[in-house]
Chains A and B, each alone.
Chain A
Amino acid sequence: MQSYQDLVHEVIDIIDHEIGVVDPDGTVLACSDTGKIGSSLPDTFIDHILKNTEDCFIIDQHTFRKVYSGQKINVFTYICSDSETAKKMLDLFSVSVSHYYQFCLSRLDRASFFRSIIMENLSEHEIVYRARELRIPVEIPRMVFLISVAGADDNACMSVLKNMFPDRVHSSMFKINASNYLLVRTIKEADRKKGVADIAHMVKDNVSSELMVDTRVSIGTESASLLDLKKSYQNAVIADITGRIFEGKEKVADYNKLGIGRLIYKLPEESCRIFLEEVFPGGSYKTFDEEMFKTIEGLFECNFNISKAAEVLFVHRNSVIYRIQKIQKITGLDVRNFNDAVIFKIASLVSKYLSYIDKQKECRI
């Protein structure tokens, strides 16, 4: 979607003068001199602008034009020149700004606004300005939920989501690509108490049962302000990817509960490969069967208490010992020893991560 700044960029090569858009409070929303975006016009300018009854006027060699939305002044446009030619250029630019604003009004509902924040590079000032236009509070805790639905009918999916969260003031949802939807939701104290994961599970179960499709929900981080919302979305994406890598079976992934997977995901690929080769020379881990990995998991769960692990795994204690010895024979790691166990655990996660990277590369080829 275009923004005022995009409009400025489009005319910047045609108009030789500085040109910009200012909100009624005097804050520069867009400008050909990008350094001025977000700054305020000098107070003398603002006083003149506000007091001036003309639609077009000149202040200190700057030509200004009011752009209306109905009876109300929406923004001012300006050009750093008082020449007639410059004035005509400003008139044309103002028409574009006005049309753009009308265009936005016609399609910029709350959901579109949130989409713009998340998917585009809106400036902070533009976010605040548009939020004010749409009467959306800026500083309020929100959370982004990334909902991955494979093969569902678009309208049906949106319909389920909209009906689950009918309160448009606190919830907005929109589609971002072929199989992903976003839910932006205000987080209330009750949600925190109940746990935001409950919301995610509810969405997953409802979409799955209504549409009979496999559904995954990833939870981003809580954003205190609209300005952090994009970050919440980015974290939801990380939760989705790391969830798929390390917890493939789980259908809900929470960025705040990614555990060690979060760290491994951020490691450079080369370091991971060197580490894995160091721990499991020649890919020795590939000879392990799933029983081995289940045994290790069980031992971790039970704080390396073999008897307890045997109980949890529903196997004989001797079977656990036998498997531990087998792992030691192959890798040289005695997982009863804390250090070795930690190395083994990290190495197995790293191997999952590298496997994901390899698959991604295959897909690209």
Chain B
Amino acid sequence: MAGVKLKNVYKKYESAHGGVMAVNDFNLDIEDKEFLILVGPSGCGKTTTLRMIAGLEEITAGEVYIGDKLINDVQPKDRDIAMVFQNYALYPHMTVFDNMAFGLKLRKTPKHEIKKKVYEAARILEIEHLLDRKPKALSGGQRQRVALGRAIVREPKVFLMDEPLSNLDAKLRVQMRVEITRLHQKLKTTIIYVTHDQTEAMTMGTRIVVMKDGFIQQVDSPQVLYEKPVNVFVGGFMGSPPMNFVKTTVKKDGKGVSLNFGEVEGSALKNRAQAVEAKAIKPSAIYLPAERGAKLEELGYVDKEVIMGIRPENIEDEPHYQEQYPDAVVEGIVDVKEALGAESYLYVKISDVDFTARVDPSNKFKPDDEVLLVFDPTRVHVFDGKTEKILPV
């Protein structure tokens, strides 16, 4: 077992116009036995990073260590890692035992050792009873476990997994998420896992790296990433349904500092101004708690534009919140209601801006209903309007 360290790692794909930087100044210490997730949209550089660790992609600059050993020039097969990919295929004519033993046979591992390793991996994966079966006699989940078994028998220092669940149906994916998490607990080894699915990232990782355009945006535990995103991108990427964002103007009056949206300034928005005038669109204001408001004022944001972010579950419909936060109540019109059983999503228009609220399924709202909602002012995220970075308020 070993940790992995990436120091100032860059990956540039050469092209006529000088090249495309797929990974930019990537610095990360992955601890031994950690389950680290690389997540981000397509083309963000997560797979390239994983492939550089594996040695399947050349590093343009920087250093990669496994344990204390610099592995930049070590052949992939000698890096003591195992990879699990998305498009796995079991050898159809071989038994589960032979499928798991195949890689070891290629490496000329002695027979008695192969047997020991395969049985041990089968025990961990709870597939001992399937060792004599052929792949066609296995369920989807069992096949996936065999595929993992092929990596486990190598007893690598680090497992690298590149979207291994992407090809599975939704139900099996959920099942395998749990299986892989359990496997990590049993194996007590380092796993680096690439996914574009934020739910996978949130549920499986002990730490998550959010990437965009080859840059690390934020590295932290799932909970911290969710609760304290460092910028609009991370806030929007992590969480489903995603965080609501709206551009607001910071104002200060006798009641305190507020975030205002649905207001109209300037002649370019004349029609909208008329709509506001005709009360077709009502401006909304969220007053921040005194301490947060003071910090925002201190930072010089009064009368400036900021981006307000609020998670669906922090938009409240219960009346007691209106009493608790009377200065954070907004009026909205229900567009769509999605009942999911344990919870409901309300898609509402507030000051002509679309918001998603997660509410109790027992509420009786229906489309076109006018609703009073509370934006929990203690949970509102405030980002700089230009840099889109979180403000320390």
Contacts and interface: CB of A to CB of B under 8 A. Distances in A.
B87 A205 contact: yes
Contacts of A286: 17-18
Contacts of A289: 18
Contact of A212 (B18, B56, B94): B56
A166 B93 contact: yes
B17 A210 contact: no
Interface in A335-361: 348, 351-355
A354 B41 CA distance: 31
B76 interface: yes
A213 B81 CA distance: 12
B188 interface: no
20 contacts: A159-B106, A163-B91, A163-B94, A166-B92, A205-B86, A206-B85, A208-B56, A209-B85, A209-B150, A210-B106, A212-B77, A214-B76, A286-B17, A290-B18, A290-B21, A314-B233, A316-B388, A354-B16, A355-B14, A355-B15
Given A151-B75, A249-B48, A314-B233, A212 B83 contact: yes
Contacts of B84: 209
B89 A206 contact: yes
Interface in B1-39: 13-22
A178 interface: no
B277 interface: no
A293 B91 contact: no
B106 A285 contact: no
B88 interface: yes
Nearest to B11: A249
B22 A249 contact: yes
Given A166-B92, A212-B77, A288 B17 contact: yes
B87 A213 contact: no
Interface residues of B toward A: which range? Answer: 35 or more
Interface residues of A, number: 37
Contact of B17 (A163, A166, A211, A285): A285
A285 B388 CA distance: 30
Interface stretch (A34-42, A104-112, A196-204): A196-204
Interface in B92-141: 92-94, 102-103, 106
Which 7 A-B residue pairings sit nearest by Cβ, starting from the closest? A205-B85, A355-B16, A351-B16, A212-B76, A205-B87, A212-B77, A201-B87
B293 interface: no
Given A205-B85, A249-B48, A293 B17 contact: yes
B58 to A, nearest CB: 9
A321 to B, nearest CB: 14
A352 B14 CA distance: 9
Contacts of B151: 209
B76 A248 contact: no
Contacts of A249: 13, 22, 48
Contacts of A205: 85-89
B107 to A, nearest CB: 9
A140 interface: no
B149 interface: no
Contacts of B386: 316
A134 interface: no
A163 B388 CA distance: 52
Nearest to A351: B16
A12 to B, nearest CB: 48
